[in-house]
């Protein structure tokens, strides 16, 4: 054997163990960190998805709930975890794109600390009213607000939540003055709107869809550019405001430096799980609309676009990091 052959053989032998490990990934349990508590919508979805991935991989999926701190606790834990392919983050849009604009001294950098694995689903927001309200459509909403500047009470979760920011953005783009009423939770906002203490609410679709079915709230418009499944008769706000397309969403990301083989396998198998019609229906029953995981490149482009979009929103509505 000459020197060149010996060198190539040596390199091949040295690379063999890492190649085998990549092919065998995962060869131990995989951790999925969440910023939400047990029993929440994201927790239920993570466990459903994890159960299916566990069957494919022959390994347990351990869901670790780290709620609190506007997603910061869970996001920071995931960001600082070893990038070995065995810790992933089941992330919200707030954790990945809006927190940098809302929280001063954020202890993680979503742009640098994470790489995308795949999308899980999008969560439309809905503008709805108490059924006794004379407001029956968006034209009525605008007319009432213009006739009564600053008097129309619109419930939401607070100025730095998606619902709160959408409320102020909507008012700005429609050229109307409203009374944005913040609540400590979306549940409290729903309760008061159903009870008539506030007339309008801007909230995520999962929080109000049962109220629509029971006739206790009436939807006027959805926040996405297109009509959404389950509310096909409800027009999008984009019909009035071209380009208006805002939604919450969930995605899975990994600490930067995670092996490509793990990212690719996770992405491929996640897409297969989400593309199953029964799984998509189960996720839709919780709230999000899934269209598959998308490629890692597509998710990366989406995250950049969302970062720019929400950065623009915070400037328009005048929110500064605190």
pLDDT of amino acid 276: 96
Q: Are residues 178 and 226 in the same domain?
A: yes
Q: Are residues 154 and 213 in the same domain?
A: yes
Position 10 in a domain: no
Q: Are residues 254 and 117 in the same domain?
A: yes
pLDDT of amino acid 17: 44
Q: Are residues 116 and 131 in the same domain?
A: no
Q: Is a pLDDT exceeding 70 seen at residue 48?
A: yes
Of the candidates 177, 190, 165, 174, which has an alpha carbon nearest to the alpha carbon of residue 139?
Answer: 174
Structure tokens at 60: 């347990």
User: Which residues are CB-neighbours of 104 under 8 A, at least 6 positions away?
Assistant: 321, 322
pLDDT tens string 17-27: 444 344 589 99
Q: Are residues 89 and 191 in the same domain?
A: no
Q: Are residues 49 and 135 in the same domain?
A: no
* Mean pLDDT for the stretch of residues 62-86: 96
Q: What CATH number does residue 259 fall under?
A: 3.40.190.150
Position 235 in a domain: yes
Q: Are residues 233 and 256 in the same domain?
A: no
pLDDT of amino acid 19: 43
Identify the domain containing residue 138 by its residue range.
124-239
Q: Are residues 139 and 228 in the same domain?
A: yes
What percentage of residues in the chain have a pLDDT greater than 70?
93
End-to-end Cα distance, the chain: 67
Q: What is the residue-averaged pLDDT of the chain?
A: 92
Q: Is a pLDDT exceeding 60 seen at residue 283?
A: yes
Position 254 in a domain: yes
Q: Are residues 32 and 101 in the same domain?
A: yes
Helix (H) or strand (E) holding 172: helix 162-174
* Mean pLDDT for the stretch of residues 135-164: 95
Tell me if the bond preceding 87 is cis, omega within 30° of 0: no
pLDDT of amino acid 13: 47
Give backbone dihedrals phi and psi of 93, rounded to 5 degrees, phi first.
Answer: -60, -35
CB 204 within 8 A of CB 163: yes
Position 47 in a domain: yes
Q: Could you say which of 206, 239, 272 is where a domain stops?
A: 239
Q: Could you say which of 186, 216, 239 is where a domain stops?
A: 239
Position 162 in a domain: yes
pLDDT of amino acid 8: 43
pLDDT of amino acid 121: 95
Range name among 91-95, 166-170, 227-231 with the lowest pLDDT average: 227-231
CB 110 within 8 A of CB 95: yes
What percentage of residues in the chain have a pLDDT greater than 90?
85
pLDDT of amino acid 320: 82
pLDDT band at residue 268, thresholds of 50, 70 and 90?
Answer: very high
Q: What CATH number does residue 138 fall under?
A: 3.40.190.10
Stated pTM of the model: 0.87
Position 9 in a domain: no
Task: Check residues 16 and 296 and name the one with the higher pLDDT.
Answer: 296
Give the Cα separation of 200 and 96 in Å (integer). Answer: 29
- Count up the domains in the chain and report the number: 2
pLDDT of amino acid 100: 95
* Mean pLDDT for the stretch of residues 149-166: 94
Q: Is a pLDDT exceeding 70 seen at residue 102?
A: yes
Q: Could you say which of 206, 221, 239 is where a domain stops?
A: 239
Q: Is a pLDDT exceeding 50 seen at residue 307?
A: yes
Structure tokens at 179: 């009374």
Give backbone dihedrals phi and psi of 45, rounded to 5 degrees, phi first.
Answer: -65, -45
Q: What is the DSSP letter of 66?
A: -
Q: Is a pLDDT exceeding 60 seen at residue 2?
A: no
pLDDT of amino acid 23: 58
pLDDT tens string 232-266: 999 999 999 999 999 999 999 999 999 999 999 99
Position 145 in a domain: yes
Position 136 in a domain: yes
pLDDT band at residue 1, thresholds of 50, 70 and 90?
Answer: low
Range name among 1-10, 24-33, 47-56, 289-298 with the lowest pLDDT average: 1-10
* Mean pLDDT for the stretch of residues 81-104: 96
Strand partners, 295: none
pLDDT band at residue 229, thresholds of 50, 70 and 90?
Answer: confident
Give the Cα separation of 294 and 67 in Å (integer). Answer: 27
pLDDT tens string 194-203: 999 999 999 9
Q: What is the DSSP letter of 225?
A: S
Q: Are residues 147 and 212 in the same domain?
A: yes
Q: Are residues 173 and 204 in the same domain?
A: yes
218-222 and 247-255: which strand pairing? unpaired
Q: Are residues 169 and 103 in the same domain?
A: no
pLDDT of amino acid 294: 97
């Amino acid at each position: 054997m000459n020197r060149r052959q010996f060198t190539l053989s040596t390199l091949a032998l040295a690379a063999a163990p890492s190649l085998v490990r990549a092919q065998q990934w995962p060869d131990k349990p995989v951790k999925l960190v969440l910023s939400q508590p047990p029993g929440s919508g994201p927790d239920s979805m993570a466990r459903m998805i994890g159960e299916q991935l566990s069957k494919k991989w022959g390994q347990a999926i351990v869901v670790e709930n780290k709620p609190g701190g506007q997603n910061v606790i869970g996001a920071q834990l995931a960001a600082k975890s070893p990038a070995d392919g065995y810790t992933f983050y089941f992330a919200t849009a707030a954790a990945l794109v809006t927190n940098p604009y809302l929280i001063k001294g954020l202890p993680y950098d979503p742009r640098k600390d994470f790489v995308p694995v795949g999308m899980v689903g999008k969560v439309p927001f809905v503008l709805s009213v108490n059924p006794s309200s004379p407001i029956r459509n968006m034209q009525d909403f605008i007319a009432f607000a213009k006739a009564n500047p600053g008097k129309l009470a619109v419930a939401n979760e607070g100025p730095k939540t998606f619902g709160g920011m959408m409320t102020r953005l909507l008012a700005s783009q429609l050229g109307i003055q409203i009374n944005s009423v913040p609540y400590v939770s979306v549940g409290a906002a729903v309760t008061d709107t159903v009870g008539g203490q506030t007339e309008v609410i801007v909230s995520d679709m999962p929080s109000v869809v049962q109220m629509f079915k029971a006739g206790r709230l009436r939807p006027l418009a959805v926040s996405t550019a297109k009509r959404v499944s389950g509310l096909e008769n409800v027009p999008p706000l984009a019909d009035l405001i071209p380009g208006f397309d805002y939604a919450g969403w969930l995605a899975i990301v990994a600490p930067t430096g995670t092996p490509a083989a793990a990212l690719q396998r996770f992405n491929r198998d996640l897409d297969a799980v989400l593309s199953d019609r029964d799984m998509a229906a189960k996720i839709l029953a919780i709230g999000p609309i899934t269209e598959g995981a998308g490629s890692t490149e597509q998710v990366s482009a989406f995250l950049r676009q969302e970062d720019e979009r929400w950065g623009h929103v915070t400037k328009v509505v005048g929110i500064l990091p605190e």
